[in-house]
A = this chain, B = another copy of it.
Amino acid sequence: MPELRKDPIVGRWVMISVERGKRPADFVSSVQLRKKGGFCPFCPGNEYTTPPEIIAFRPAATEPDSPGWTLRVMPNKFPALQIYGDLRRMGEGIFDKMNGLGAHEVIVETPDHNLSLSTMSEKAVEDVLWACYLRLTDLKKDHRFKYVLVFKNEGEVAGASLEHSHTQIIALPIVPKHVKEEVDAARQHYEFKERCIFCDVINQELEDGKRVIYENDKYVALAPFAPRAPFETWILPKRHESRFAPSEKSFAELAEIMQKILKQMDKILDTPPYNFVLHTSPFYNEVNEYYHWHIEIMPKLTKIAGFEWGSGFYINPTPPEESAKFMREAGV
């Protein structure tokens, strides 16, 4: 018989096929091969086609917006939001709106068009995390913003419009709904228990072990108890940390676990398209006892059908205990 499981943080019920769960080979993945050819605005030599870089990791001897860089951050050429102006909150009868103020930036993760987060060097992944952190820290100074969304769409099916490996950053004058829900629920749990709900989950999972995919000294990768889709994976710091930041001035261990997970997915799911999103505390109360930052990774293996977007009730054909086992046994 299938099982209904409740996400302990936001209370979302999902249906899990615990018997005859779908195995990796049951998913037809639209393999994300990088094709050379065609013009790529993110390749070295084409810097003039993008807006001027905000930061770049490049030798001191090289000029901004010229080749030589190993990582580049610039405004999105077609931004979803606009950076200039004051925030204007407006009513329209009973409705609420504001002007679409925000920042929309792109981190080009590598000069090599053929590499991805799973195939570049671990040091390069570390640099991507540093770039995220530096931009977050800088955008936070702008008091018009309440939250910075860091996310990646890898592969066309996952929403990427350019194949050259990149991460996106959107600074917003509001806190996105799912983050707000998590933060509110975590605060409620803290008021009741005086413990962080994520710490509770991590402790139980580490003791139990069956949904743990991998851990290093500082981080753990889990298949969550009530995942929305097959192979959904969360990476969390083992110690309580409310906001995304380097641990002891280093992102080495976060880069290691992230790349390990992506390599495992590539191997057992045949280089699937995927998304990741960073969930961290909103700026208004960044350092707190109740929220725990983490990264959610979701390979796009199944279609999200009508009743899922319309109801928030998900049917997941692969139990997290099995997906975690497949990932552990990938031998990466």
Contacts and interface: CB of A to CB of B under 8 A. Distances in A.
Contacts of A181: 312
A42 B303 CA distance: 23
A172 interface: yes
A2 interface: yes
A313 B149 contact: yes
Interface in A83-102: 85, 92-101
A144 B275 CA distance: 37
Contacts of A276: 306, 310
A159 interface: yes
B1 A176 contact: no
B97 A15 contact: no
A204 B94 CA distance: 8
Contacts of A92: 225
Interface in A71-87: 80-82, 85
A6 interface: yes
A13 interface: yes
Interface in A125-180: 149, 151-153, 157-159, 168, 170, 172-174, 176-179
A123 to B, nearest CB: 25
A11 interface: yes
A192 interface: no
A276 B308 CA distance: 11
A296 interface: yes
The secondary structure that dominates the A interface is mixed
A149 to B, nearest CB: 5
A325 interface: no
A63 to B, nearest CB: 32
Interface in A1-45: 1-6, 8, 10-13, 15-17
A285 interface: no
B80 A2 contact: yes
Contact of A177 (B2, B13, B304): B13
Nearest to A278: B310
12 contacts: A1-B100, A4-B99, A4-B174, A5-B96, A15-B100, A149-B307, A159-B304, A159-B308, A176-B312, A176-B313, A179-B312, A304-B309
Given A4-B172, A157-B303, A275-B307, 19 more contacts: A2-B80, A2-B99, A2-B100, A4-B173, A8-B94, A8-B95, A17-B80, A151-B307, A151-B311, A152-B306, A159-B304, A176-B311, A176-B313, A177-B311, A178-B311, A228-B309, A276-B306, A277-B307, A277-B310
